[in-house]
Amino acid sequence: MTAFAARIERVEPSATLAISSVAKELRAEGADVVDLSVGEPDFPTPAPIVEAGIAAMRDGHTGYTAPRGIPSLREAIATELATDGLAYDPDQIIVTPGGKQALYEVFQTVVDDGDEVVLLDPAWVSYEAMAKLAGGTLRRVDLTTSNFKLEPALDELTTAISDETRLLVVNTPSNPTGMVYTDDALAAVRDLAVDHDVTVISDEIYKRITYGRTPASLATLDGMADRTITVNGFSKTYAMTGWRLGYLAGPTDIIDQAAKLQSHSVSCATNFVQHAGVAALTDVDDEVDEMVTAFEDRRDHLIDRLEDAGAHVPAVPDGAFYLMVPVVGDDLETCETAIQEAHVATTPGSAFGAPGYARLSYANSTDRIDEALDRLFDLEYFRRD
């Protein structure tokens, strides 16, 4: 038997990607599968981005770039972040192949064996895995009892955070709940982070996909700039999941350390993709607004139908394109039945630290959402009030 490193034995494959792969396999066998599992916009990448990528390839931008990314993209990112009140110099930014790699680099840079990492559950599946890969131990604050809102759970957060805490991950709008945390809640997070000298990841990948309320950026709060790493990416906002482009921005000392990891692992983000990223930030706006409007319409439609059917909806999402709902029975089994028998792919809440729930991604057309709901209602999938 081959012996494997303990760190890799500690983690499972990404549940979101695994379910989506099952959906793809069933589809390849001819099944009519509705995929509400993976968080992937169903829109094509806006044309100006595609054109810029092709032009960059034709212009010969096909070699390695500097590990931290091309200057024009880091400048465009700094300008974009400034619109949110975030003052980052281009030297404080590392462009990565996807936001996931940015997060991975932060965990590897900050978390040591035995260090405590605090997550707000339900939390996106890969934070737990990244913490474990870095040797960290987890403290999880359960937001299911407060219908995913952070403010009512601040006592629990206060208990969870101590001088032992190395890293806190805040993701708002949240995957999988879609919650936008209030300014007051984020101010309380700030107080705890400053009091206990905690480093914070602010994962803002859904920041442009909101329906009325936009969250504050944690690094703009007093005392947070030198302890916050802001992570973002192009996958969701610009429908660029397969291009793999994201970034981290943070205090110079952390960025300098993370840059070592980047240079020894992926070297750099793909050259021509970085050029396409400049076009995304400078030439694309209306297309994003159109996608966000479509997501909002789908959210409303999905919730109307669920409520009409008496299904329990704990909270209306303020952003992203996910809805967390309680399901009947064991969530792993219920989601397995849904994919195998009804050919509807959904993600079990257990993957996010929320057993008994499931996540529906509504980055899909209203017709397909309707089709999925019809099949799931037949299965008695949703828990009622």
The residues that touch ligand GLU, with contacts defined as CB under 6 A, are 14, 16-17, 38-39, 100, 124-126, 175
Residue 206 vs 272, nearer CB to ligand PMP: 206
DSSP-assigned letter for residue 194: H
x-or-dash string of contact with ligand PMP, 336-375, rule CB under 6 A: ----------------------------------------
Of 349, 310, 309, nearest to 143 by C-alpha is 349
Q: Structure tokens of 332?
A: 């792993």
Q: CA torsion sign, 279 to 281 to 283 to 284? A: positive
Q: What span, in angstroms and rounded, lies between the C-alpha atoms of 177 and 147?
A: 9
Least separation in angstroms between residue 241's CB and ligand PMP is 5
Q: Which one, 76 or 248, has the nearer CB to ligand GLU?
A: 248
Residue placing its CB nearer to ligand GLU in the complex, 125 or 130:
125
How many CB atoms within 10 Å of residue 114?
10
Query: With respect to ligand GLU, which residue has the nearer C-beta, 127 or 272?
Result: 127
Shortest distance, position 225 Cβ to ligand PMP, whole Å: 21
Binding ligand PMP by CB under 6 A: which of 241, 262, 334, 347? 241
* Least distance to ligand GLU, CB of residue 29, Å: 22
- Separation between Cα atoms, residue 156 and residue 186, nearest integer Å: 15
Query: Sign of the C-alpha dihedral, residues 286, 210, 106, 355?
Result: negative
State which residue, 13 or 310, has the beta carbon closest to ligand GLU: 13
Report the nearest approach of ligand GLU to the CB of residue 44 (Å): 18
Q: Which amino acid is at 264?
A: H
Nearest to 97 by CA among 249, 229, 273, 282: 273
Give the 3-state secondary structure of residue 227.
Answer: coil
Residues with Cβ within 8 Å of residue 135, at least 6 apart in sequence: 7, 111, 112, 113, 114, 115
We find the least distance from the C-beta atom of residue 17 to ligand GLU, in angstroms, to be 5
Among 90, 98, 250, 349, binds ligand PMP (CB under 6 A): 98
| The three-state (H, E, C) secondary structure of 301-354, written as one string | HHHHHHHHCCECCCCCCCECCEEEEEECCCHHHHHHHHHHHCCEECEEHHHHCC
Please choose which of ligand GLU, ligand PMP, none residue 203 contacts, taking the beta carbon within 5 to 8 angstroms, the exact cut-off set by kind.
ligand PMP
Told to check if 235 binds ligand PMP by CB under 6 A, we report: yes
In this chain, which stretch among 79-87, 98-106, 215-223, 347-355 interacts with ligand PMP, using CB under 6 A? 98-106
Q: Mask 168-207, x = binds ligand PMP (CB under 6 A)?
A: ---x---x---------------------------x-x--
C-alpha torsion angle, residues 275, 42, 123, 370 (rounded to 10): 170
Binding site for ligand PMP (CB under 6 A): 39, 98-100, 124, 171, 175, 203, 205, 233, 235, 241, 246
